[in-house]
Amino acid sequence: MATAVGSQTQLTPPRRSLFARRRSEAAMAWVFSAPAIILLVVFLLIPFLMAIGLAVTDQRLVPNLNIPTRIVGLRNFIRLVDDEAFLRGLLNNFYFVAVVVPVQTSFALLLAVLVNQRIRGMNAYRTVYFGPVVTSMVVVAIVWTFLYNPGEGLINAFIHTISFGQLGPYNWLQNTKLVFPAIMLLSIWQGVGFQMVIYLAGLQEIPHDLYEAADVDGANRMQQFIHITLPQLRNTTVFVVLATTILAFKLFDQVKVMTNGGPQNASMTTIVYAIEQGWGQLKVGYASAITVVFFLIVLGVSLIQRRFLREERAVE
């Protein structure tokens, strides 16, 4: 009995030391996380709660003492169902995601495979492909506006040259059928470098022994790509696709700079319409309802992302 008590007494100090160490680590974790948590609360949580509150009112950007703000309940949300501009913007968002995400992801994977080769000057090619990502989207949109110019733009000149004068010129940004594909092309070119870098990191994590074993078994390059590269990049692809989807839903800068949603709402998006209603029409309450709906869409995509990631962990 004494031995047991003595051994228990000897184990107590290490346990207290371990508990104190864990408490110290937890405290340090909260200290380092505090700035990020404060920023999230101030710039994300509080504005969203304010948006929910404003969405059930008829608040205007410039208050009028003679017309007090009233609580209108769900009237703003009901109006969205019959708002053609909002529905067109939401449809364009999904259209943009459906086209840009698979095309941009495919190009990113192709570029990553190309720049992963061990040849001279490859770092220069990586820099060139990644350059548009670090360039401001506003600057990119302005440059591409000149490129799309129907009179002197290089794109029309190129099409005119390769078609021997049979095609063009096209008024890309004023044609209701061409304006959104034109914005998609710009977005794919500007963003593909970001996904390329992520895929490049994934490619460099694949054990080279797998390719050597495939060479011994007589597998060609295409067979190695299908049976080794793609399966090894499964988690990377899930992250790239879902992150690109979330970013695609937030389409704003290039549309605002190049077309402002026109012509005839052909390039309208949810965020552009929310800004137009809130700042242009001074309808803060209605714009808040739009942003709440947009947030719920992004939240739904985030939940899908979490579900896919769980399934990937379960497979592993």
**24 and 101 share one domain:** no
| Separation between Cα atoms, residue 210 and residue 232, nearest integer Å | 10
In this prediction, residue 103 carries a pLDDT of 94
What tens digit of pLDDT does each residue of 126-176 get? 888 888 888 889 999 999 999 998 878 899 999 988 988 888 788 999 999
Q: Are residues 22 and 119 in the same domain?
A: no
Do 174 and 115 lie in a common domain?
yes
Same domain, 102 and 26: no
Is residue 41 situated within a structural domain?
Answer: yes
pLDDT of residue 287: 93
> pLDDT value at position 131?
87
- Do 131 and 279 have their domain in common? yes
Residue 309 covered by a domain: yes
For residue 101 the two structure tokens come to: 């995400």
Q: Are residues 38 and 165 in the same domain?
A: no
Q: Is 65 within the bounds of a domain? A: no
CA angle (305, 88, 136) in 5-degree steps:
65
| Whether 156 and 38 share a structural domain | no
Q: CA-CA distance, 203 to 164, in Å (whole number)?
A: 42
Task: Give residue 70's pLDDT.
Answer: 87
Domain that holds residue 240: 75-315
274 is a domain residue: yes
Residues 148 and 190 grouped into a single domain: yes
Beta bridge partners of 20: none
| 80 falls within a domain | yes
pLDDT for 77 equals: 92
Q: Are 182 and 145 in contact (CB under 8 A)?
A: no
Distance CA 112, CA 143 (A): 26
Q: Could you tell me if residue 8 is inside a domain?
A: no
Convert the pLDDT of each residue in 25-75 to its tens digit: 888 888 898 999 999 999 988 988 999 999 999 888 887 777 788 888 899
- Distance between CA atoms of residues 202 and 229, nearest Å: 9
CA distance 289 to 74: 9
pLDDT over 90 at 199, yes or no: yes
Tell me the per-residue pLDDT of 166-179, one tens digit each, with 9 for 90 and over.
887 889 999 999 99
> Domain tally for the chain?
2
Mean pLDDT of the chain: 85
Q: Does 220 lie in the same domain as 85?
A: yes
| pLDDT higher than threshold 60 for residue 83 | yes
286 shares a domain with 207: yes
User: What mean pLDDT comes out for the span 196-217?
Assistant: 89
**Looking at the structure, do residues 38 and 141 belong to the same domain, yes or no?**
no
98 in any annotated domain: yes
CATH code of residue 153: 1.10.3720.10
Residue 1, pLDDT > 50, answer no
Query: For residue 196, what pLDDT is reported?
Result: 92
Pair (206, 271) in one structural domain: yes
Q: What percent of the chain has pLDDT over 90?
A: 39
Distances from the Cα of 87 to the Cα of 11, 16, 82, 292, angstroms: 67, 61, 8, 15
Which residue's structure tokens are 């591409």? 144
